[in-house]
Chains A and B, each alone.
Chain A
Amino acid sequence: MNDEKEEKLLSLLAARRGETFWRRQKAGILRAAVEERGPRRTWLLAPAAALAALLVLVLARGPRQPLPDEPQGVSAAFIEHLDLLADMDVLEAVSEEEL
């Protein structure tokens, strides 16, 4: 790229605004300087916010809740179902002649 093209490229990157914009911006900065003690833009607190987010994540993980115990009571129907399955195993293991 030659110098002329480079100059053109650099001029393209400029921010073009009218005088009204610059006057408004200047007034805004001067006003903000006066009200400096007011609330700041939140994104300027990014490092503190990052730390807070990490803390929340760590706390959220916290001590894990113990898993609920297995149900202690087993219904009669369930035991009968198991008996039936055991019988099936035996039946399958015995040849037809023996039966």
Chain B
Amino acid sequence: MENVKKTGPEGLAGTDPESAFALLIEEQQRLVYAVALRLTGNTAAAEDITQETFIAAWRHIKDFRGESSLKTWLMRIAANKTRSYWRWKRLRSWVGLSDKGEDGEGTALEDLLPDDPAGRPEQAALAAELERRVQAAINALPPRQREVAVLRAQGLGMAEIGSALGMAEGTVKAHWFEARKKLGSSLGEYL
């Protein structure tokens, strides 16, 4: 993730705002999307969260104090937006407005896959099955362990995860220890 350093506010100085924003998206969208997707298990919500994360970041870039890396800051925004998403889901469920399927809950096979998974249906089916198993294993984790595991998978260190999620580093390590054990058990055949 070395390219992250390129798009710090100081790195964007002298670039016109639109180009700087485009560069920020180019470098970070994979991370933000992956976090949103794995934390929601919903492709449509992940796209919305990614979009809202970047717009919020750009709107508040002047407030970014550089105490953490830009990547950590973006991850924090994405994690907060994901928490908002779950609060909204719970609220809808509480008032009896179940929105199953409304916003892409039932993920289509093609949404789970790269554009051309080796161009062969059997490869596509295997990749889709793996994707479902991975998401199911993540969904089975308690929320904090899930957040830690997903950020860990994006290459964040323990201190960075702690900063993004507002946790002590020791707590992050404990959550990662538990999450790794459970994921290893669920996905053992792929390891």
Contact = CB atoms under 8 A, between A and B. Distances in A.
B29 A13 contact: no
A13 B134 contact: yes
B67 interface: no
Interface string A8-45: 11111111111111100110111011001000111110
Given A14-B153, A33-B55, A49-B88, A26 B26 contact: yes
B87 interface: yes
A14 B25 contact: no
B132 interface: no
Instruction: Name the prevailing secondary structure of the A interface residues.
Output: helix
A13 B149 contact: yes
Contacts of B181: 1
How big is the A interface, by class?
35 or more
B190 A12 contact: yes
A26 B32 CA distance: 12
B88 A25 contact: no
Given A6-B180, A30-B25, A32-B51, 13 more contacts: A1-B180, A1-B184, A8-B190, A10-B152, A13-B149, A15-B46, A16-B127, A17-B114, A25-B47, A30-B21, A44-B81, A46-B88, A49-B91
19 contacts: A5-B184, A13-B138, A15-B34, A15-B37, A15-B38, A18-B115, A19-B115, A20-B115, A25-B50, A25-B51, A26-B22, A30-B21, A30-B22, A33-B58, A43-B84, A46-B91, A47-B87, A50-B87, A53-B91
